[in-house]
Amino acid sequence: MVQIPKPPAPEPPAPRSVPTSADVARLAGVSRATVSYVLNNTSAVRISEPTRRRVHDAARELGYVPHAAARSLRAGHSRTVLMPAPSFPAGPLYSRFLDELMGALGRLEYTVVQYGSVGLRGDEAARAWAELRPVAVLVPGSGPGPQGVEILKRAGARAVVTLGHEAVDGAHALLMDHAIVGHSAVRHLHDRGRRRIGVVVPVEDGLKVFSAPRLAGARRAVRDTDATVTELPLAYDERAAARLAARWDSLGLDAVFAYNDEYAMLLMRALQDEGVRVPADTAVIGADDLMLGRLLRPRLSTVHLELPSGRDLAALVDRAVHDPGAAPERHEVLGAAVVHRESS
Amino acid sequence: MVQIPKPPAPEPPAPRSVPTSADVARLAGVSRATVSYVLNNTSAVRISEPTRRRVHDAARELGYVPHAAARSLRAGHSRTVLMPAPSFPAGPLYSRFLDELMGALGRLEYTVVQYGSVGLRGDEAARAWAELRPVAVLVPGSGPGPQGVEILKRAGARAVVTLGHEAVDGAHALLMDHAIVGHSAVRHLHDRGRRRIGVVVPVEDGLKVFSAPRLAGARRAVRDTDATVTELPLAYDERAAARLAARWDSLGLDAVFAYNDEYAMLLMRALQDEGVRVPADTAVIGADDLMLGRLLRPRLSTVHLELPSGRDLAALVDRAVHDPGAAPERHEVLGAAVVHRESS
DNA sequence: TTGAAAGCGGTACCAT
DNA sequence: ATGGTACCGCTTTCAA
């Protein structure tokens, strides 16, 4: 086979490497220091207007973008707020909260980085996060242990904030005790005269962090009363709901807190298909106050959750960063209010 | 007022600064080089077992965590895949896709970073991303212009992948043309004998990127037929739906593609409350194939969307990173299949 | 087997 | 008004 000789490339595509401030300096005919001064508008130093222009032009021509790693290495700190991606499916509520939070932190000049920590658990995860030397770490759900917090602080994190059901030593905590949700729902049912109350507990693993406290709260609501709470495991699946509905009579329940609005819709449909009248035979209440509850017939009673505002959390982070020595703050931030509609 | 003299702190809390590899070296009685060798298991160099132990012990004792910025600065590259946070409300479908993607990239040893780009537009955003020197950038929704792509590549990004409705020069594209959704839905309605077809268009701004192509696809589906498509602006709000339903008769429609399942539920409820029979008077079809559609009565027909698998996208990224010279790939990845239930 | 030293890309002090 | 230079923390030749 004849080897076709490659013609000499007219212009070797020159794998133009990434331009640095030195390149800018060279092109502008100034020193690296001057480049830095100009591009950062350093106020302590006055640079003549012609020089400024030459530097800016050179930077633009080369498409120069500063290297964040180099900068923060030299500076000894960054304004990165690290947030591990949550380990549970984020509902619309939580998504909106995150967006708000990111926006608020962005406005405070922090760079929010959601870190996809896959398969790392406990301290390993904390170490991985620590490598990025974030100025603050915001952990949703079940966070790192106290050890993890210590690792992060040793790595220069000036604030660690957990966002979930339990506080961790050394970290600020925004506590969201979902027990209050179950408690509100079941107390409402009790107030409406119901006594044999079912509580749906999703079998999905990721939801345990929410479902367990909601159930516990439900239990607490009937303690010292004549009412009972029955745990009802349920998969988010039509057939599972149908099976549960099929044995509904045998359960002898007159009310059910369905974990949230989506499960409530699922269960209510199955019950109605089975001939159970809502709310006459069985009262139903959900949680999260989603739009869909308003669209069901009967309209779904629900527990409206009030999450902390993203701005407030951002403010807490900022405060903590400015004063890392302060004692960890602990706030109960989950509000719950029953929205009574027709299903209960 | 008497000034209380501060007692000399018994042990000044010693703002223990972040330990570096030099600290580890000092404590272990070796050089920094040796520390690096040991902690990275450098195979090209053999370190005696006792030394290894001393280094590991020292590192543990100090709580040493390497500095990612310093490392990647020295290495000249990172394995960071940057993904700007999407600018539209992420539904359950999209969230699951993102999770899958993050997992898959994580398994390929990439560090996925979701960057909260707030208020930056166009090239500004691209520059902000470029500062992090990501090895690849994954842009959902309407991405950067060709200039933005150029900026990122100049900054060393070996792959830029857009994930949305249009391709960008120089970047790989996973095209998701939502026209196919509207087209499938409306063709189905047409096939079922409907001729005066309404198409719901959410008024919410963030949804334009999806609603516009869906409407366009719907229009295309009736081109050259005797059927008509009528645009129906609608807010995600009960009252808006009721108003629309109130003038339903005057619209003279016999079918409606309701943008997605949630809008479909909203509209269907309003129609039914108004006495419009579904599907007898008006057929309804949604999109996204959410669980809720199965729970409505009549059961909601819908368009099932098939998104690319996270693994496939991760593989594309990995391929592109290994061969940055390759021509940009362009894939149409949005599948749509009508799921016919009872509402149409 | 281990150590000394250069250098990655910026910033900021100190001269000039 | 500008330039020289040390240094941030880490990796990696090269020598010993």
Domain ranges across chain B: 21-66, 80-175+308-330, 178-306
Please tell me which of the candidates B16, B69, B106 has its beta carbon nearest to residue A119.
B106
Query: Judging by DSSP bridges, how do beta strands A302-306 and A335-339 pair with one another?
Result: antiparallel
In the numeric block, which tokens belong to residue B26?
A: 């000092």
Residues 250-279 in A contacting B (C-alpha not used; CB under 8 Å): 262, 265-266, 269
Which nucleotide shows the minimum CA-to-C1' distance to residue B65? D9
* Nearest residue of chain A to residue B13 (CA atoms): A325
Q: What is the mean pLDDT of residues B148-162?
A: 95
pLDDT over 90, % of chain B: 81
B64 contacts B23 by C-beta, under 8 angstroms: yes
Q: Which of chain B's residues have a Cβ under 8 Å away from the Cβ of A69?
A: 68-70, 72-73, 78, 132-133
| Bases of strand D lying below 7 A from some protein CB | 1-13
Q: What's the mean pLDDT when you consider all of chain B?
A: 92
Predicted confidence (pLDDT) per residue in A239-272, tens digit:
999 999 999 999 999 999 999 999 999 999 999 9
CA distance B235 to B251: 18
> Any CB–CB contact under 8 A between A89 and chain B?
yes
pLDDT at B6 over 80: no
Strand D at less than 7 A from CB of B326: no
Burial class (CB in 10 A: 0-12, 13-18, 19+), B3: exposed
User: At the top level of CATH, which class does the domain A80-175+308-330 belong to?
Assistant: alpha beta
Amino acid letter for position B13: P
- pLDDT at B92 (0 to 100): 83
B47 touches strand C (CB under 7 A): yes
Whether A265 sits inside 8 A of B73 (CB atoms) is no
Q: Which long-range contacts (CB under 8 A, 24 or more apart) does B39-43 make?
A: B39/B66
Are the beta carbons of A89 and B95 closer than 8 angstroms? Answer: yes
pTM as predicted: 0.89
For B116, the closest of A102, A132, A265 (CB atoms) is: A102
What is the biggest distance separating any 2 CA atoms in chain A, rounded to whole angstroms? 95
Whether the predicted pLDDT of A120 surpasses 90: no
Phi and psi at residue B222, in whole multiples of 5°? -105, 0
* Best CA proximity match to B42, nearest among B60, B29, B55: B55
The nearest CA of chain A is from the CA of B91 a distance in Å of 7
- Asked if B235 contacts B262 with a C-beta cutoff of 8 angstroms, the reply is no
Distance CA B46, CA B61 (A): 23
Pairing of strands B111-115, A111-115: antiparallel
Burial of A212 (0-12, 13-18, 19+ CB in 10 A): middle
Angle between helices B179-191 and B208-222 in degrees, nearest 10: 40
Q: B195, exposed or middle or buried, with CB in 10 Å at 0-12, 13-18, 19+?
A: middle
Render pLDDT for A52-78 as a digit per residue (tens, 0 to 9). Answer: 999 999 999 999 999 999 999 999 999
Which of B40, B96, B131, B288 is the best substitution to test chain A (most A C-beta atoms within 10 A)?
Answer: B131
Average pLDDT over residues B43-67: 95
Distances (CA, A) of B316 to B326, B328, B333: 12, 11, 13
Answer whether B68 touches A (CB < 8 Å). yes
Q: Tell me the pLDDT band of B214, cut-offs 50, 70 and 90.
A: very high
E strand segments, A31-155: 80-84, 111-115, 136-140
Q: Tens digits of per-residue pLDDT, A78-112?
A: 999 999 988 777 788 888 888 899 889 999 999 99
Residue A15 confidence (pLDDT): 54
pLDDT recorded at residue B121: 79
Distance CA B293, CA A314 (A): 37
Q: Which two tokens stand for residue A42?
A: 């350093």
Both tokens of residue B152? 């990122």
What is the distance in angstroms measured between the alpha-carbon CA of A152 and the sugar C1' of D11?
A: 24
At B175, the amino acid letter reads L
pLDDT in tens, A314-324: 999 999 999 99
Tokens of A255: 């009310």
CA→C1' distance for A21 and C9 (Å):
8
Distance between CA atoms of A337 and A194, rounded to whole angstroms? 19
Give the A window 206-235 contacts with B, CB below 8 Å.
none
- Is the pLDDT at B9 greater than 60, yes or no? no
Domains A21-66 and A80-175+308-330 share a fold: no
**C-alpha torsion angle, residues A66, A67, A71, A72 (rounded to 10):** 140
CB contact under 8 Å between A106 and B90, yes or no, is no
Query: What CATH number does the domain located at A21-66 have?
Result: 1.10.260.40
Nucleotides of C under 7 A from a protein CB: 1-5, 7-14
Among candidates A115, A155, A266 on the partner chain, residue whose Cβ is nearest the Cβ of B295 = A266
Distances from the Cα of A284 to the Cαs of A260, A269, A275, A301, in angstroms? 10, 11, 14, 7
Which residue in chain A is spatially nearest to B299 when comparing CA positions?
Answer: A269
Q: Which of B96, B48, B32 is nearest to A204 (CA)?
A: B96
Q: How far apart are the first and last CA of chain B?
A: 83
State the average pLDDT over residues B110-138.
90
Cα distance between residue B149 and residue B143, in whole Å: 9
Query: What value does the mean pLDDT take over residues A28-41?
Result: 97
CATH 3.40.630.30 fits B178-306, yes or no: no
pLDDT at B10 over 60: no
CA dist B338 and B191 (Å) reads 12
Is A69 in Cβ contact with B154 (below 8 Å)? no
B32 sits within 7 Å of strand D by its CB: yes
**Residue A90 in 3-state DSSP?**
coil
pLDDT digits (tens, 9 = 90+) for B226-249: 999 999 999 999 999 999 999 999
B77 touches strand D (CB under 7 A): no
Would the pLDDT of B90 be above 80? Answer: no
Which is more confident, B118 or A169? A169
Residue B113 near residue B134, CB atoms below 8 Å: yes
Q: Which of A138-142, A178-182, B190-194 has the lowest mean pLDDT?
A: A138-142
Is the distance between the Cβ of A6 and the closest atom of strand D smaller than 7 Å?
A: no
Closest nucleotide C1' to the C-alpha of A34 = D2
Q: Give chain A's length.
A: 344
Cα angle, residue A270 at apex, residues A264 and A276 outer, rounded to 5°:
100
* Whole-number pLDDT of residue A66: 97
pLDDT tens for B247-272 read: 999 999 999 999 999 999 999 999 99
What H or E segment, with its residue span, contains residue A200?
strand A196-202
Q: In whole angstroms, what is the distance from residue B123 CA to residue A110 CA?
A: 19
Which phi and psi (to 5°) does residue B139 adopt? -110, 110
Pick out residues 39-68 of chain A having their CB under 7 A from any atom of nucleic acid strand C.
Answer: 39-40, 42, 44-45, 64-67
**B151: which chain A residues are within 8 Å (Cβ-Cβ)?**
63, 65
Q: Which nt sits closest to A49, CA to C1'?
A: D1
Which member of A68, A116, A265 has the closest CB to residue B132? A68
Count of CB atoms situated within 10 Å of the CB of B176: 25
Q: Judge whether residue B21 has pLDDT over 70.
A: yes
CB contact under 8 A, B118 and A96: no
The Cβ of residue A323 has, within 10 Å, a number of other Cβ atoms equal to 11
Q: Which residue has the tokens 């120069």?
A: A64
Query: Does residue B172 sit in helix, strand or coil?
Result: strand
Taking the CB of residue B51, how many other CB atoms lie within 10 A of it? 16
Tokens 């990845």 identify what position?
B333
Strand C–CB A75 distance below 7 A: yes
Q: What is the DSSP letter of A328?
A: P
How far apart CA A278 and CA A343 sit, in angstroms, is 6
Q: Give percent above pLDDT 70 in chain A.
A: 95
CB neighbour burial string for B235-272, b if at least 16 within 10 angstroms, e if fewer: eeeeebbeebbeebeeeebbbbbbbbbbbbbbbbbbbb
Average pLDDT of chain A, as a whole number: 92
Q: How many CB atoms lie within 10 A of CB A109?
A: 8
